[in-house]
Amino acid sequence: MKALIIGAGGVGTVVTQKIAANPVFSEVMLASRTKSKCDAVAAAIGGGRVQTAQVDADSVQELCTLFRAFRPDIVVNVALPYQDLTIMDACLECGANYLDTANYEPKDEAHFEYSWQWAYQDRFKAKGLTAILGCGFDPGVTAIFTAYAAKHHFDEIHYLDIVDCNAGNHGMAFATNFNPEINIREVTQKGRYYENGRWVVTEPHEIHKPLHYPEIGERESYVIYHEELESLVKNYPTIRRARFWMTFGQEYLTHLRVIQNIGMARIDPIVYNGVEIVPIQFLKAVLPDPKSLGANYHGQTSIGCRIRGVKDGKERTYYIYNNCDHEQAFRETGTQAVSFTTGVPAALGASMWAKGLWRGAGVFNVEEFDPDPFLAELGEQGLPWVEKFDVDLEV
Ligand code: NDP
C-alpha cells in the first residue's frame, strides 16, 4: 500500500513518522508547499523510507501530476482545511482514497460544516473510493469514543458532552497549539450546541463553568462549536443535547480579545503599503510556529466524552478519555501533544483503511466505522484511553 501525506506541519510530522513505522505501507511520500520542510521530516526518519515532493494543494492539476507519478492508494490530508476539496477532487480524478482531520472551510468565511464534503458522497461511491472525514482527535477519536459507547455501553445516548482540556504550559504569553489562522478562526466564532433537534447559538465563550479533568484538576471550560457535533447528532438521532467544551486560560482569552478588538483576527484582505494582506495571515507569520512549542511544553491534555443515556432500561453515565503528556509526545516525535494527538489517529485511520478494516465506497465520518479495531490499537500507538462508569459528569 502506498500512502501520500500532504502537509509538513506539526500534524504532518507525526503522521509521517507513524505511517513510515507501519509495515502495511510499502511506500510513503510527504508532499507540501515547502519541500525543505518535507526533507527535514524525511531526514529525521532516515533510511530513505520517506520520499518527498513539492505541491500546491490548492491546484487540482498540480495534485494530479503528483498523484499520477506516485500512484498513492490513500492520501492523508493534513494541510489546511482550505485544501480539502481540491485534494478530494484530485483523488476522484486519479482514483485515490482520502482521509483528513478537519472539515472544509472557505478562506473568506469562518464557516464550519460538512455539507461541502458530504456533497462528494455520490462521486466517491460511483468510483468505489473511500473518503474518511475528521480522523484526528477532535474530530476523530471523540467520535470513535462515541461510537464505542453506543456499540458497547448504551441502547440510547441522550446527552453527549465532549470535553477538551489543554493543561499544558509552553511558557509563552500567547501561542496557538495548531495552525494559528485556523485555531483563531475556530475559537473566536459564536458558540453553538445542539438541543432537542435544533442548534442553539450563543455569543463567543458565553457559556462556561469549571470542570474537573483527571490528573489535572479544575479548569474553566467554555462551550464552543466543534464540527463533530454535526455528524454525531445525525448518526446518533437519540441524542437530545450535544455540546463541546474547551478550556482556555485567562491570559489566552485576554490576548484573543485584544487581537479581535484591534482587527488582527480579520480574514478579509486589506491594502498595506500597496500590497493586499489578510490580517490573520500576517498575524500567523509573527506568532510562534506551533511546531516549535514542543521543547518547553509541560503538562497534559485530556480529551474525552461524557455521556448520559440508557442501557437495559436503566440510566447510566460514562466518561471515556485520553490524557496525553506534552513532554512524552515531544520525546517520541519532537512535537507537542496537540500535533501528537491529531497525527496518531490520522495515521491509525489510514492503517485501518490499508488493512481493509475500514472500507466502503463513499464519504464517511469516522463514527460510521467499527470503533473496536481502532481503539484496540490506539493505546499501543501512544494514546491510551480510560473508561469510567456511573460517575458525576458535572455537565
Ligand atoms: P501547520 O500550519 O503546522 O501545517 C500545515 C502544513 O500544510 C504546512 O506545512 C503548510 O505548508 C502546508 N500547506 C498549507 N497550504 C498548503 C498548500 N496550498 N499546498 C500544500 N501544502 C500546504 O498546521 P498543523 O499541522 O497544526 O495542522 C494541520 C491540520 O490538522 C489542519 O487542517 C488542522 O485544522 C488539523 N487539526 C486537526 C485537529 C483534530 O484533532 N482533528 C487538531 C489540530 C489540527 P508551509 O509549511 O509551506 O506553510
**Per the domain annotation, does 379 fall within a domain?**
yes
Same domain? For 121 and 159 the reply is no
Is the CB of 33 inside a 6 Å radius of any atom of ligand 1? yes
Task: Give 213-250 as a 3 state SS string.
Answer: ECCCEEEEEEECCCCHHHHHHHHCCCCCEEEEEEECCH
Considering 84, 111, 133, which residue would you say is the last residue of a domain? 133
E strand map for 22-73: 27-32, 50-54
Find the 182 Cα to ligand 1 centroid distance in Å: 9
Same domain? For 220 and 151 the reply is yes
- Residue pair 243/162 in contact (Cβ under 8 Å)? The answer is yes
The CATH number assigned to the domain holding 215 equals: 3.30.360.10
What is the CB neighbour count within 10 angstroms for residue 285? 10
Mutation to probe ligand 1, out of 14, 58, 80 (largest number of atoms < 8 A from CB): 80
Is the CB of 37 inside a 6 Å radius of any atom of ligand 1? yes
**What total of structural domains would you count in the chain?**
2
Straight-line distance from the first to the last Cα atom of the chain, in angstroms, rounded to the nearest whole number: 44
The CATH number assigned to the domain holding 24 equals: 3.40.50.720
Chain segment 186-217, per-residue pLDDT in tens: 888 999 999 999 999 999 999 999 999 999 99
Q: Quote the crossing angle between the two packed helices 279-286 and 180-188, to the nearest 10°.
A: 120
**Per the domain annotation, does 395 fall within a domain?**
no
Q: What is the pLDDT of residue 63?
A: 98
Same domain? For 265 and 309 the reply is yes
Domain that includes residue 176, residue range: 141-335+371-389
Residues 343-365, mean pLDDT to the nearest whole number: 98
CA gap 63, 182 in Å, rounded = 22
Confidence of residue 178 (pLDDT cuts 50, 70, 90): confident
**Per the domain annotation, does 364 fall within a domain?**
no
Find the 156 Cα to ligand 1 centroid distance in Å: 36
Find the 78 Cα to ligand 1 centroid distance in Å: 5
Chain segment 71-111, per-residue pLDDT in tens: 999 999 999 999 999 999 999 999 999 999 999 999 888 78
